[in-house]
Amino acid sequence: MPAARPHPIRYAVVGLGHIAQVAVLPGFTHARRNSRLAAFVSGDRKKLSVLSRKYPGVATFGYEQYEECLSQVDAVYIALPNSMHAEYTIRAATAGVHVLCEKPMAVTADDCDRMIGACEEADVKLMIAYRLHFDDVTLSVLDLIRKRRIGEPKFFNSSFSLTVRRGDIRTQKALGGGTLYDIGIYCINAARQIFDAEPKEVMAISVNSGAPGFEEIDESTGGLLRFDGERVGAFVCSFNADDVGSYRVLGTKGQLHVEPGYEYAEGLKYSMTVNGQVTHSRKTAKHDQFGAEIEYFSDCIHTGRAPEPSGYEGKQDVRIIEALYESAETGKAVGVPPFEKPLKAVPAQRITKPGVKKPTLVRTEETSVD
C-alpha cells in the first residue's frame, strides 16, 4: 500500500501590501502540490474583507489576533515592513510555526541573531525569500561562471534603480527604509553568489539631491565590495532614477551581461561575450519565482532538510548593508567579519513555474511610478 502523502503545509501570509498581493498570494496556485494558503494577517479590515472574498476559505486575522492565527497554521510568509520582521518571526517560532521571511531579513544583524536563535531553539525552519536562488536564468549564469566560460571572474558591476512613490514605506526610516535594504541587497547577494565568496571590506557613498520624499533615507547609494583575490563588486542603487535592474560580470576571457537581472514581473535575459563575440544568449518568459520558493520551503518542512537561503545567509547581507551605511557616514572603508555559515549552491533548487496574471490590487498602490 503506498505511503500517505503528507498534508499540505498551511500558510498564513502576514502583511498584505503590494508584494504579497501581486506575487505571494498568486504563487500558492503553483505551490498547491504541498502548500495551502490558509490565513491572512493584516491591520486593514477592509482589505481582509475584500481579499477573503477573492480567496474563499482563507481565514482572516488582525495583528492583535496573531497568536490565534499561529495556532491554526504550520508556517508563515512574512511580508511586513522590514522593521517588523524580527518581532513576527520570533513570535511565530515561539508558537512552533515555521518562517519564510521576505528580505531583507531584518534591519540589524542583532535582530537577525535573535530570529535565528528563536527558530533554532524552537526547532522550526527559517528561510529568507531570495527568490532568485531558484531562478533558472540566475542559476545558468552561475553555472557558466563556475565552468570558467568567461575565465576568472574579476569584477561585478550593477545598476538597480526605480522611481519610488512619495510616502512609500521604503522611504520611512522607522520602517526599515533605504535603498540598500530594498534593492541594493539584490546587488550585494548577486556579487556574493557570483564570486562564491564574502567581501572583506566595503566602501560606500550615499547622496540626496534634495528631491522631496527622501528626507529620512538615502536617495541613492553607490557601493564597493572587496573580495579575496583582488576581485571587486560595484553597484549603484537609487529610488529616484529611471527603472533598470542589470548586472555585468567581467572575466579574464569574456563577460556576462544580465538584463533584466532582478525582475519578477518579466522574464530574465543574459548574453555571454567571449573574445569580442556574443557566443550565447538566453531569455525566459515571465515565470513565478514565489510559487517556486514556497514549494521548496514546504518540501524542507516535510523532509526535515535545512532550507537555503538560511537565516545565516540573510544575516550576512544585513551585516554588509550595515557596514556600507557606516562607510557612507564616516567616509572610511569598513571591514566585514567572516561569514559563519557559507552558502553552497544546490542544483535541486532550480524550480520553474509558469507566470501568473497580475491581480487587481486591494487598498495598496504600486510601489514605483511608471
Cell 495556532 identifies what position?
Answer: 71
Q: d(Cα 104, Cα 296) in Å, to the nearest integer? A: 19
Q: pLDDT at position 362, please?
A: 87
Predicted confidence band at 130 (pLDDT cuts at 50, 70, 90)?
Answer: very high
Q: CB of 100 within 8 A of CB of 292?
A: no
Nearest Cα neighbor of 270 from 140, 173, 149, 183 is 140
Angle, in degrees to the nearest 10, between helices 85-94 and 109-122? 10
Average pLDDT score, the chain? 93
Q: pLDDT at position 83, please?
A: 98
The residue-averaged pLDDT of 267-278 equals: 94
Q: d(Cα 118, Cα 69) in Å, to the nearest integer? A: 19
Q: pLDDT at position 329, please?
A: 98
The answer for residues whose C-beta is within 8 angstroms of residue 262's C-beta and 6 or more apart is 132, 160, 183, 186, 190, 245
Q: CB of 53 within 8 A of CB of 360?
A: no
The verdict on whether 55 is a catalytic residue reads: no
- Our CA angle for 102, 103, 105, nearest 5°, is 95
Nearest Cα neighbor of 99 from 110, 88, 107, 111 is 88
Nearest Cα neighbor of 315 from 292, 336, 330, 293 is 336
Cell 518568459 identifies what position?
Answer: 285
The residue-averaged pLDDT of 321-327 equals: 98
First-to-last alpha carbon distance for the chain, in angstroms, is 56
pLDDT digit string, tens, across residues 90-107: 999 999 999 999 999 999
**What DSSP letter does each residue of 285-329 carry, written as one string?**
--B-HHHHHHHHHHHHHHHTPPPSSBHHHHHHHHHHHHHHHHHHH
Q: CB of 361 within 8 A of CB of 22?
A: yes
Q: d(Cα 300, Cα 316) in Å, to the nearest integer? A: 22
Q: CB of 84 within 8 A of CB of 115?
A: no
Question: Three-class SS of residue 183?
Answer: helix
| Catalytic option among 186, 262, 296, 325 | 186
pLDDT digit string, tens, across residues 185-243: 999 999 999 999 999 999 999 999 999 999 999 999 999 999 988 999 999 999 999 99
The verdict on whether 262 is a catalytic residue reads: no
Q: d(Cα 145, Cα 245) in Å, to the nearest integer? A: 20
Q: d(Cα 272, Cα 283) in Å, to the nearest integer? A: 12
Q: d(Cα 109, Cα 118) in Å, to the nearest integer? A: 14
Tell me the helices (H) and strands (E) count for the chain, helix number first: 11, 15
pLDDT digit string, tens, across residues 18-27: 999 999 999 9
pLDDT digit string, tens, across residues 22-63: 999 999 999 999 999 999 999 999 999 999 999 999 999 999
Q: pLDDT at position 217, please?
A: 97
pLDDT > 70: percent of the chain: 94
Q: d(Cα 57, Cα 270) in Å, to the nearest integer? A: 41
DSSP letter at 175?
Answer: G
Q: d(Cα 319, Cα 342) in Å, to the nearest integer? A: 14
pLDDT of 299 above 90: yes
| pTM for the predicted model, two decimal places | 0.95
| Catalytic option among 47, 66, 77, 103 | 103
Q: CB of 330 within 8 A of CB of 206?
A: no
Nearest Cα neighbor of 37 from 29, 46, 45 is 29
- Our CA angle for 356, 346, 125, nearest 5°, is 75
Q: d(Cα 64, Cα 42) in Å, to the nearest integer? A: 9
Q: Where are the alpha helices (DSSP H) in the chain?
A: 18-19, 25-27, 45-54, 66-70, 85-94, 109-122, 136-146, 179, 185-195, 289-303, 311-330
